[in-house]
Structure formats: structure tokens, C-alpha cells
Structure 1
Amino acid sequence: MRSFVLALLLCWSALTGAAPATLKFSAVDSWTMPLADFHDSQLKGGILNDIIQRLSQRLGLDASVQVLPRNRVELAARQGSIDVRCYVSPAWISDHQRFLWSVPLFLHRDLIVARRGEAPLPTPEALSGEQVGTVLGYSYPRLQPLIDRGAVRRDEARNQDLVLQKLLAGRYQYAISNEQALNWFNRNHPDSDQLTAVGILEETPVACLVRDDPDLPTQRILRALQQMKTSGEIEAILARYR
């Protein structure tokens, strides 16, 4: 009888150990609203916070979020110290094949932005000779060939909001901003300070990556994200911040 009880306890321990009670997510400290709202170095609101919280609720698991610099997020994913990273594309990760990927959740659109009155740019190549506002550590594949040959110089700021503030102050003529951040910036500024998109740099579908680990409920996570997308839940979250 004692052996039987011990065997049951061991089986119960193995089963409970197979599915962690807490999923470990990441957030990049240079994100700004509407993507992320940080207070005391903790993620407290924004699109990504809502996605993380709703996904965790669907799975019946707690969520912990590590707020990290962009370069450390990639290292944390490789080392296994985070389980899920959202708002990312395989095109941005050199070793993307080592992770599992959700369905694309929405479109990340990088825009070429200027102050009001600037003429539209036909192509990114029209930025040749310019110093362009960008976010420190961010990758801009469409812009990189121009940077590599010295045709474009990056003027970097710590986050997207600071990039737009510097553009408004006249530090440079053009900047790169994702569409959500630009809309949020304009929403919180008077008409005289509105910034405008003068071109599209690139469009990239973004998703969540999941650490490929047998101890994680990877298929449940991927199914839940697919359900959030197909049910319209992701779109409803995005709509709250428009």
C-alpha cells in the first residue's frame, strides 16, 4: 500500500511539473504607448499587456513579465529565461527556427514621418543624405542598405516617443515610427504639433514566439493565440487604443 501511494505521489508530481503555473513573458523597455505602459519598470498597460493578460487567462496560468533592453530580450529567449515573447517577427530574429511561432496577430507598419507640410517621399531611397530619427537598437531591414553605404545616418533615441519628440523639435527632418505610436503621439498633441507619414518604410506581420520546450504547454499556447486572432479578440484589443 505504501508503495502504491508513493507511486501516485510521484505521478502527480510529474504531471504538475509538466505544466508551469506561471508563464514568463518579456517586454522591451523602449516600447511606448499604445504598445506598452511602464510604471516603476513594470508593464502595467497597453496593447501587449492586454494580450499577455488575456492569453494567461485563457490558459489558466499566471503571467510574469521581465522588462528588458532589446538586446537582452533576444539573449533571454535563447537562454530559456522567458517562455513567450510577443510583438516579434521571424524576420527580426537570426535563429528564428529554434522557436515555435504563433499565427501572425497584426501588422507592424514602419512609417517615414515628418512635420506637417513635408512632401510625400516616393521611396525610402529618397532619404539619401538625411539624418533619420530611429530607436536605439531597433532593426530596420529596408533602411539598412542605405545605412551600410553611408547614404543615411541614424540619430538614435532610447524609445519611440523620444524619436518623435526630437522630430517635432526640429532635430532632424525625418524619423521612422511604427503606425500605432505615431497615431498615439498625434492623439496627445494639438493640431499645430501633429506629425505626418510621408512614406511607408516596411510592413511586417508580428506574432508571438514560444520557447520549444517539452515542459511548456506549447500547443495550448499556440492554439489560444490562434483563437484570440480568429475570434476577433486581438482586433478588439487594438481598437481600444486607436
Structure 2
Amino acid sequence: MRTLLTLLLFWSAHSLAEQPVLRFSVAESWSMPLIRIENGQPVEGLLFDVMQAAAEQAGVRAEYHVMARMRLEEAMNQGDIDVRCYVSDQWLMARPKDFIWSVPLIHQRDVLVGRIGEGGPISPQRLSPQPIGTVLGYTYTTLEPLLAAHRLYREDSRSQELALQKLQAGRYRYAVSNQLSLRWFNHQRHAQLQPLAVLDEQDLGCLVRNDPDIPAQALLRALVRLKQSGEMERLLQRYGSTEEPQPAGTGT
């Protein structure tokens, strides 16, 4: 019996060792419900579940590289990562040459957020000059003209969660957040933060290195199956994505 267990453990370890490894990037600025990082590695969250499920279906072992968000594009160009998820083409400085887009996985809305009592829907163009809570390294296309004209001033935080914490504590009157993170924050902290305007919407997917030495197509097919099977939608619902009335106006 002991010999059989030893052989099974050996075969299991040997099988894992033979699996191709894909290097997934993880942005330090991500927080729940997207991901939770512990001791330098992701351990739970929507994106962790998506990447783990896709890697398992593709028959590869996921290796996670946690880095600053502003380093992600450089890491892609230098060949330091194979897969970058939770990305839009609007966020890239240049079109990636050696990467293939996956199917869109998440439809995201970025919203202007205020505390309950700040009033109803409001366009950012109507705000008086003041600081606004933002996340370090993120670009907010709709707000860029207001930031460039010094009508609004960025107050950057390391993560979306920290930006919302500061808003709740009264460090500023308004912040920018994606709706998924806002719902999670309100639910987990019994907070009273509300969306006031939709600033932007985008479809987010993954970029996979187009390299014959890695199973890129297997991973892309796995992401298609996650989407078509309904598993992606189930994961989104698990982490709090439910349709709700949208704030009036888009801030444009």
C-alpha cells in the first residue's frame, strides 16, 4: 500500500512538472473582488478563478507574476509574461505586436462615485475644481480634459479599495470606480457609496503571447469555453455582478 501511494505521488508530481507553464501577469493595484494577494501571490478573487479555470482547461500550469500596473506593458514587450488578463485596447499605449486577443470576458462600467447624501446623478463637467479619488497608473479618458485644465486633480491610491476607503472617510467628495468593485466594497463594509454618473464602458479580455513554444491557442479556446458555457457569468454573479439601475447620463 505504501509503495502504491509513493508511486501515485511520484506520477502526480511528474505530471505537474511536465505541464507547460504560462506566466500570467497580476497588477499590484487589483483588489477584491478582482483578486486578493497574500505573501506576494494571488489566492482568491474573480480574476484568479478565471485564470486558474482557463489554465486547468488548457492543460497548463499558471505561474503568477505580480507587478506594478505601469510595468505591465513593458513586461509584455520584453517577453516577461505570456498572458495579461483584465485589459482593454483603450488602455494600451500601442497595439501589442506579438499577442492575440481573447474573446471579451467582462463588460465593465467606470462610474463617478459619491457618498449617500451628495445628491443625485451629476456630470463631472459640472463639478467645481477639487481633488478626485483615482488609482495609480489608471487612465480615465473621460476625465482627461478636466484634469488637463486643472478643473479636477487626481488623488492617487495604490488600489481601487483604498480609493473608496478614502472617499468613505471624507478625504474627498468624489472618486472613480468600476461598478463591480463598488458593489463589493458597499457589501463588505456596509458602506454608503453611490454611483453618480457612468464615465466609461469597455469590454475586457486577455492578451496571450503568440509564440509557438507555448500553448496559446489552447488557452484561447479555454477562454472561449468559459464564456460560452456560462461559467464566466456564474463567476461574475458570485463576485457581485448584478444588473441595477444606472445613474443618469454618461458624463460626456
TM tier relative to shorter chain: 0.7 to 0.9
Listed one character per residue, the Cα deviations across residues 32-73 of structure 1 (whole Å, up to 9, x for unaligned) are 100001111110000010001100110111110001010112
- Distance, in Å, in 1 between the alignment partners of 2:70 and 2:156 is 15
Structure 1 position 120, deviation (Å): 2.8
Quick one: structure 1 residues 97 and 79, their matched pair in 2 at CA, closer, same or farther if it must change by over 3 Å? closer
1:109 is matched by which residue type in structure 2? R
Q: Is the 8 A contact 2:26 2:67 kept in 1?
A: yes
Q: What secondary structure is seen at the aligned counterpart in 2 of 1:64?
A: strand
Q: What secondary structure is seen at the aligned counterpart in 2 of 1:94?
A: coil
Matched, 1:214 2:231: no
Structure 1 position 20, deviation (Å): 6.9
Matched with 1:166 is 166
Listed one character per residue, the Cα deviations across residues 163-182 of structure 1 (whole Å, up to 9, x for unaligned) are 11111111111000111111
Matched with 1:92 is 91
2:20 is matched by which residue type in structure 1? A
Q: Is the 8 A contact 2:131 2:155 kept in 1?
A: yes
Structure 1 position 128, deviation (Å): 4.8
Q: Structure 1, unaligned stretches of length 5 or more?
A: 1-18
1:134 is matched by which residue type in structure 2? T
- Distance, in Å, in 2 between the alignment partners of 1:130 and 1:241 is 32
Listed one character per residue, the Cα deviations across residues 82-135 of structure 1 (whole Å, up to 9, x for unaligned) are 100100011111222412101110112111000001223443322351210001
Matched with 2:226 is 228
Matched with 1:185 is 185
Q: Return 147-156 or 209-218, whichever deviates more.
A: 209-218
Matched with 1:8 is none
Matched with 2:57 is 58
Listed one character per residue, the Cα deviations across residues 143-183 of structure 1 (whole Å, up to 9, x for unaligned) are 11211121111011111111111111111110001111111
Structure 1 position 25, deviation (Å): 0.2
- Distance, in Å, in 2 between the alignment partners of 1:107 and 1:26 is 20
Q: Is the 8 A contact 2:25 2:66 kept in 1?
A: yes
Q: Structure 2, unaligned stretches of length 5 or more?
A: 1-17, 241-252
- Distance, in Å, in 2 between the alignment partners of 1:122 and 1:202 is 14
Q: Is the 8 A contact 2:226 2:232 kept in 1?
A: yes
Identify the match of residue 200 of structure 1 among 181, 198, 202: 198
Matched, 1:137 2:130: no
- Distance, in Å, in 2 between the alignment partners of 1:88 and 1:20 is 26
What root-mean-square deviation, in Å, do the aligned CA atoms of Structure 1 and Structure 2 show?
1.5
Matched, 1:31 2:30: yes
Matched with 2:3 is none
- Distance, in Å, in 1 between the alignment partners of 2:209 and 2:127 is 38
Structure 1 position 214, deviation (Å): 2.3
Listed one character per residue, the Cα deviations across residues 190-240 of structure 1 (whole Å, up to 9, x for unaligned) are 3xx311111111111100001122222222222221121111111111111
Aligned residues: 222
Structure 1 position 189, deviation (Å): 2.1
- Distance, in Å, in 2 between the alignment partners of 1:97 and 1:189 is 38
Q: Is the 8 A contact 2:54 2:222 kept in 1?
A: yes
Q: Is the 8 A contact 1:101 1:208 kept in 2?
A: yes
Matched with 2:149 is 149
- Distance, in Å, in 2 between the alignment partners of 1:148 and 1:78 is 29
Matched with 1:70 is 69
Matched, 1:102 2:127: no
**TM-score (normalised: structure 1):** 0.88
**TM-score (normalised: structure 2):** 0.84
